[in-house]
Structure 1
Amino acid sequence: MKIDAFCHILPPRFAKGFFAIDDAPAVRNLQNRTRAIPALTDLDVRFRQLDEFGDYRQILNVAAPPLEDFGPPARCAEFARLANEELAGLVARHPDRFAGFCGAVALNDVDRALAEIDFCFGELGALGVQIYCHVNGHPLDEPRFDPLWARLAASGKLVQVHPNRTAAWPDYPAERRSRFEIWWAFGWEYDLSVFMARMVFSGVLERWPGLKFLIHHGGAMVPHFAGRVGPGWDQLGARTPGDEKADVTGYPLTRRPLDYFRMFHVDTALFGAEDALRTSIRFYGVDKVLFGSDSPYDPEKGPGYIRATVGNLAALDLTDAERAAIYHGNVTRLLDLGEPAAAG
């Protein structure tokens, strides 16, 4: 059994509204990209692709961009409700294909987001929510988001974290835009890593250790820079002049920074990079790694990254029990998933 804990879709009515938006630059930038991937909107195409993988189900979320980019907060909230009702409907109609969904929330209005989270969990049975690394450029350790973390920690649900910078984030201060899609290839992994660091040093994980974060792309940069995250950050403040100490003053932590970084869960969406996956598993431990593919954003527009990840896991020096834990055991335990109901 394989449960894919991080893959994307555009449900029909949501997709229609998404493609009709013409006054939000971030949305317009992704409309062409998503139009070129049939499996995002066509279930027949998607199901034909998934047949290759046998006993395989997906946990769905809505494809990027973040809902906060859709326009005014009221519009963003409307799209969140539309997305969540449709996602719940897909899971109900196709339980043999979809193990559940993580709800869409727009965090540019925290009160509306909390109401949507309650609706998703209480009425629709969502397994969690998907959030992004920042909200219109604002970090998620701002105090206004504390009620969000309290609610999500109390829920015991999954918090999928997806990166979200664009070409408007330059690679150098002297430039105005990122070139060569560096903003995506490297910038997204930096985004995820910065998000994790801010959750650590702002004390979010200290105050709400029950948060079940699932960090996309194998935990991004963190496992590959364990020396900097570990003994490097044990020396926090040693590199900072006395008149800049505010830059390194955070929430009082009771453990090493490294210990908090190991509290995150991560997926296997590393696009076929076997060595990177091996490093991620070694850093976090088998019990913190969930099978996730990022489908359907591979060059084949659906099955490619799933197949590559399966191949990586087969090649790694894992026991059958460890492989089964990554494929389905960890997510089943983490979210208390049951067996799929018969399809209607």
Structure 2
Amino acid sequence: MKIDAFCHLLPTAYAERLFAITDSAVARNIQKRVSGVPALVDLDERFRVMDEFGPDYRQIINTAAPPLDDLGPRARTAELARIANDGMADLVARHPDRFEGFCAAVALDDVDNAIGEVDRAFDELGAVGVQIYTHVNGGPMDQERFFPFYEAVARRGEKMIQVHPCRDSSWSDYKTEERSKFEIWWTLGWEYDLSAFMSRLVFSGVFERLPDIKILIHHGGAMIPHFAGRVGPGWDQLGSRTPADQAEDITGYPLTQRPIDYFKKFYVDTAYFGAGDSMRTAIKFFGVDHTLFGSDTPFDPEKGPGYIRDTIANLNDMDILTDADRDRIYSGNVTALLGLDKDAAPRASVESEVSL
């Protein structure tokens, strides 16, 4: 069994509501991008892509960027969350042999409403987790106002928080410029966003305060495993580079372990887009038990199968992994993390469906 733990999909009703928004530049941008990726909305195309990987391949689905918070006033973003979650729950219920579960959409511009929606998604719709982004309206996610949300998910035990990056061209590469060029905001900026998010949560003491919280970071933990020397012995010297008049910038929640030890408490996926050496580094840093198979489909150049195929090839070719390790990454870890059905049967093969 292969359970792809980080896949994007737009339920029909949600896509229709998203495409009806005409007063948001962010909405217009995603409308353009989605139009070129049929497997996001077309189930026939989606299933055709999935069939390439056999009857034991399934997905945990979520909606695609941008964050709901960027799509308009609070009443609209709350409406979008409800529509998205109802749609994903329906897809999981109607296609259990395709979709192992879904992670709810929430708008964190209203924390109380987000908690209510995630409770509804867990209790009434059966969501296995919730997807959030690396900032809300440009603000950091370690603000105390978000702690009740983290707490609400953490107390649920077998539920996870998926974290997706988000910035656009308005986040310039240099102070003297107005926009980021050459899509640097995406290629490098998204990985910085994820890394900064992780760092701020570590120093806010989220793992000290909520030791049972389960946070899955997209793109293999981004920059963190590749800069382990700076994250480790570098941050062991926290404060040595900070002027005395900026001491408040290095004062956070009192930590009882080295900073690097907290980073290893995050879970990460394998969405490295075929970069096997980078994936190897991430697995060695976070460990097999904190690594979940995830492809980021369908945003590859083939609009569906490419990243899945490359990720499987990377994992199958990696000589640091045993067969037992691969089993844990492919399905064992996510099954244990979320309390999924260990005895789920694969769907019939394409040939069997035809013969029937």
TM-score range, shorter chain: over 0.9
Task: Tell me, yes or no, if structure 1 residue 267 matches structure 2 residue 269.
Answer: yes
Counterpart among 305, 310, 326 of residue 329 in structure 2: 326
How far 1:247 sits from its partner (Å)?
Answer: 1.0
Match of 1:190 in 2: 192
Counterpart among 218, 221, 226 of residue 219 in structure 1: 221
Task: Tell me, yes or no, if structure 1 residue 297 matches structure 2 residue 331.
Answer: no
One-letter amino acid of the structure 2 residue matched with residue 220 of structure 1: A
Pick which of 174-183 and 140-149 moved more.
140-149
How far 1:341 sits from its partner (Å)?
Answer: 7.1
One-letter amino acid of the structure 2 residue matched with residue 69 of structure 1: D
Match of 2:10 in 1: 10
Query: Which deviations, in whole Å up to 9, do the C-alpha atoms of 1:79-109 show, x marking residues without a partner?
Result: 1001001100000000000000000000000
Match of 2:161 in 1: 159
One-letter amino acid of the structure 1 residue matched with residue 111 of structure 2: V
Distance 2:262 2:27 in 1: 34
Partner secondary structure for residue 92 of structure 2: helix
Match of 2:140 in 1: 139
Counterpart among 337, 340, 351 of residue 337 in structure 1: 340
Question: Which runs of at least 4 in structure 1 moved beyond 2 Å after TM superposition?
Answer: 339-343
How far 1:155 sits from its partner (Å)?
Answer: 1.1
Distance 1:18 1:161 in 2: 21
Contact 1:234 1:256 in 2 (8 A): yes
One-letter amino acid of the structure 2 residue matched with residue 231 of structure 1: P
Match of 2:19 in 1: 19
Distance 1:194 1:140 in 2: 10
Distance 2:113 2:246 in 1: 37
Distance 2:182 2:282 in 1: 27
Distance 1:73 1:119 in 2: 18
Task: Tell me, yes or no, if structure 1 residue 99 matches structure 2 residue 71.
Answer: no
Residues 1:255 and 1:315: Cα distance change in structure 2 (over 3 Å): same
Residue correspondence of structure 1 range 225-304 to structure 2 within 5 A: 225-304=227-306
Distance 1:154 1:13 in 2: 31
Distance 1:74 1:326 in 2: 39
Which ranges in structure 2 are unaligned for 5 or more consecutive residues?
Answer: 348-356
Match of 1:57 in 2: 58
Query: Which deviations, in whole Å up to 9, do the C-alpha atoms of 1:144-187 show, x marking residues without a partner?
Result: 11110111110121100000010000000111100000000000
How far 1:206 sits from its partner (Å)?
Answer: 1.4
How far 1:342 sits from its partner (Å)?
Answer: 8.8
Partner secondary structure for residue 124 of structure 1: coil
Match of 2:352 in 1: none
Partner secondary structure for residue 274 of structure 2: coil
Match of 1:203 in 2: 205
Query: Which deviations, in whole Å up to 9, do the C-alpha atoms of 1:250-281 show, x marking residues without a partner?
Result: 11101100010000000000000000000000
Match of 1:309 in 2: 311
Distance 2:116 2:330 in 1: 32
Tell me the TM-score normalized by structure 2.
0.95
Partner secondary structure for residue 280 of structure 1: helix
One-letter amino acid of the structure 1 residue matched with residue 338 of structure 2: L
Contact 1:133 1:195 in 2 (8 A): yes
How far 1:340 sits from its partner (Å)?
Answer: 3.7
Query: Which deviations, in whole Å up to 9, do the C-alpha atoms of 1:55-94 show, x marking residues without a partner?
Result: 1000000111111011001110001001001100000000
Contact 1:95 1:342 in 2 (8 A): no
The percentage of aligned residue pairs carrying the same residue is: 65
Query: Which deviations, in whole Å up to 9, do the C-alpha atoms of 1:290-325 show, x marking residues without a partner?
Result: 000000000000000000000000110111000010
Task: Tell me, yes or no, if structure 1 residue 112 matches structure 2 residue 117.
Answer: no
Query: Which deviations, in whole Å up to 9, do the C-alpha atoms of 1:100-138 show, x marking residues without a partner?
Result: 000000000011101001100111110000000000011
- In the comparison of the two structures, how many residue pairs are matched? 343
Tell me the TM-score normalized by structure 1.
0.98
Distance 1:138 1:250 in 2: 17
Distance 1:84 1:169 in 2: 30
Residue correspondence of structure 1 range 12-51 to structure 2 within 5 A: 12-51=12-51
